Chains A and B, each alone.
Chain A
Amino acid sequence: MSNRPITEDDLHAFVDRALEPEREAEVSAYLEKHADVAERIAAYADERNLLRSALLPIAEEPLPPQLNLARMLESPRRRPSSLRWAIAAMLMLSIGGLGGWVIRGATQAPAGGLSALAQEASASYKVYASDRARPVELRDSTELVQWVSNRLHQPVKLPDLTKSGYRFMGGRVVPTEHGPAGMFMYDDDRGDRLVVLTRPMTTDQNGPMAPLSGGDVAGFSWADGGMGYSLVGPSAAETLRPIANEIRKQVQTI
């Protein structure tokens, strides 16, 4: 027997049967001598069991079709394995030295690639999202999609970010070194704005989602089927990631 005093943490670990056998014996011995504590701990254990029993039937229900994982995996969004390694490598690099790597990537990446797109999106964000008077040229979504699709010579989908808490404000065609791009702007209840930039890609036609984080903006860029997308916003990258995933899901043509 050790002489370590029994802690509240020990008592809860006792309830969860998470103690080493030796410590468990010590707690048992303690509870035998302290009826009031024992009563409280026994009640916790009973209530834990009650909760488990009440929730057990949910885990035994047949799964609805929307939760069919095999079908989700079948959808043709799988990437060649070499690309998957590239994603892993890119993530490790970005964790290691985000700032420096992004700048290096921007200067050395082939012209027109994802890092160029990310820079163009940041530039658009900085110029237009801060414009309180006229942030967007067109507010009508149908008209805007038609305009952008015409200039990009391909059908463009307008992401709907309502589920993520952002309203569509409007957009415009913006110039980049690699031709026209479509810019869409969104805002939330606090007035925070997001910019999505899209244009056809000459290089990096299919590129995994890559974070961008330089200075006061954050974002993610990726490319699917020859179209590049970049999401830029003021908040931390982690809050933008689910939004980028949502956009990617929505605009995927397949």
Chain B
Amino acid sequence: MNDMLRLVEPLIPALRRYARALVRDHAAADDLVQDCLERAVIHWEQRRSDNPRPWLFAILHNLAINQFRRATSRGVHVAIDETNEDTFGQEAEQEHKVMYRDVMAKLARLPHDQRAVLLLVGVEDLSYADAAKVLGVPIGTVMSRLARARERLHQELEGTADDQNSNIVQLRNKT
């Protein structure tokens, strides 16, 4: 189990970041990570690949998705739009803070499958193949979701997003 500590401990900050960006709520995110680590301890010997990174992200992602589903099926309001003040480091300059808060608020407006792929690929640096494993979808789906997610976030930040249609916008080269 020493190898587990050695391999998994350095990944905890990234797992926390992913959970927090996905569910937004500080305490709920840490609970998810704790749950994820406990499961990882129990199932450490059952993992199939040498690289625990996608495996851990997959456990965490599934826990988060189950939580979303439960929240939806019970009609519980999940306050994903509330930006947590202490999400951002104190040292960040005021101007940056405003931009950071803005991008997080806009990110929260994306459907959670688009948010997940943006975070896994763009922030956590998972390969497309590993992101596909985490999300349980083919690579082609990762790519199309990533394209939709980037365009949607771009429109949100530009203030041109149309609430009705922005998540089904078609990407086309205008050449």
Chain B 113-143 per-residue mask, 1 if CB under 8 angstroms from chain A, else 0 = 0000011011100011000000000000001
Known A-B contacts A12-B150, A249-B38; the reply to A54 vs B16 at CB < 8 A is no
Chain B 12-37 per-residue mask, 1 if CB under 8 angstroms from chain A, else 0 = 11101100110000000011011001
CB-based A-B contact count at 8 angstroms: 128
Q: How far is the CB of A55 from chain B (nearest CB, A)?
A: 5
Contacting B1 at CB < 8 Å: which of A73, A87, A91, A248?
Answer: A73
Set of chain B residues within 8 Å of A73, measured between Cβ atoms = 1, 4-5, 41
Q: Answer whether residue B64 sits at the interface, using C-beta atoms and an 8 A cutoff.
A: no
Tell me the complex Cα distance, A37–B103, Å. 22
Set of chain B residues within 8 Å of A12, measured between Cβ atoms = 143, 146-147, 150
Q: How far is the CB of B38 from chain A (nearest CB, A)?
A: 6
Q: How far is the CB of B151 from chain A (nearest CB, A)?
A: 8
Q: Answer whether residue B109 sits at the interface, using C-beta atoms and an 8 A cutoff.
A: no
Q: Is the CB of B122 within 8 A of A52?
A: yes
Q: How far is the CB of B130 from chain A (nearest CB, A)?
A: 11
Q: Is the CB of A165 within 8 A of B70?
A: yes
Q: Answer whether residue B77 sits at the interface, using C-beta atoms and an 8 A cutoff.
A: no
- A contact patch SS: helix
Set of chain A residues within 8 Å of B16, measured between Cβ atoms = 58-59, 61, 63, 67
Chain B 77-103 per-residue mask, 1 if CB under 8 angstroms from chain A, else 0 = 000000000011100100010011101
Q: Answer whether residue B165 sits at the interface, using C-beta atoms and an 8 A cutoff.
A: no
Q: Answer whether residue A20 sits at the interface, using C-beta atoms and an 8 A cutoff.
A: no
Q: Answer whether residue B171 sits at the interface, using C-beta atoms and an 8 A cutoff.
A: yes
Q: Is the CB of B34 within 8 A of A59?
A: no
Q: Is the CB of B174 within 8 A of A36?
A: yes
- B contact patch SS: helix
Tell me the complex Cα distance, A60–B46, Å. 30
Tell me the complex Cα distance, A229–B147, Å. 46
Q: Answer whether residue B104 sits at the interface, using C-beta atoms and an 8 A cutoff.
A: yes
Q: Answer whether residue A147 sits at the interface, using C-beta atoms and an 8 A cutoff.
A: no
Tell me the complex Cα distance, A202–B4, Å. 33
Contacting A57 at CB < 8 Å: which of B14, B31, B89?
Answer: B89
Q: Is the CB of B92 within 8 A of A57?
A: yes
Set of chain B residues within 8 Å of A177, measured between Cβ atoms = none
Q: Which of A60, A66, A87 has the most CB of B within 10 A?
A: A66
Q: Is the CB of A67 within 8 A of B87?
A: no
Q: List residues of chain B with CB under 8 Å of any chain A CB.
A: 1, 4-5, 8-9, 12-14, 16-17, 20-21, 30-31, 33-34, 37-39, 41-42, 45-46, 63, 66, 70, 73-74, 87-89, 92, 96, 99-101, 103-104, 107, 118-119, 121-123, 127-128, 143, 146-147, 150, 153-154, 157, 171, 173-175
- Jot down 13 A-B pairs with beta carbons below 8 A, ordered by A: A9-B147, A12-B143, A36-B175, A37-B173, A43-B154, A51-B103, A53-B96, A59-B14, A60-B89, A61-B13, A64-B30, A66-B34, A242-B39
Question: 5 closest Cβ contacts across the A-B interface?
Answer: A57-B89, A54-B100, A59-B13, A58-B17, A59-B17
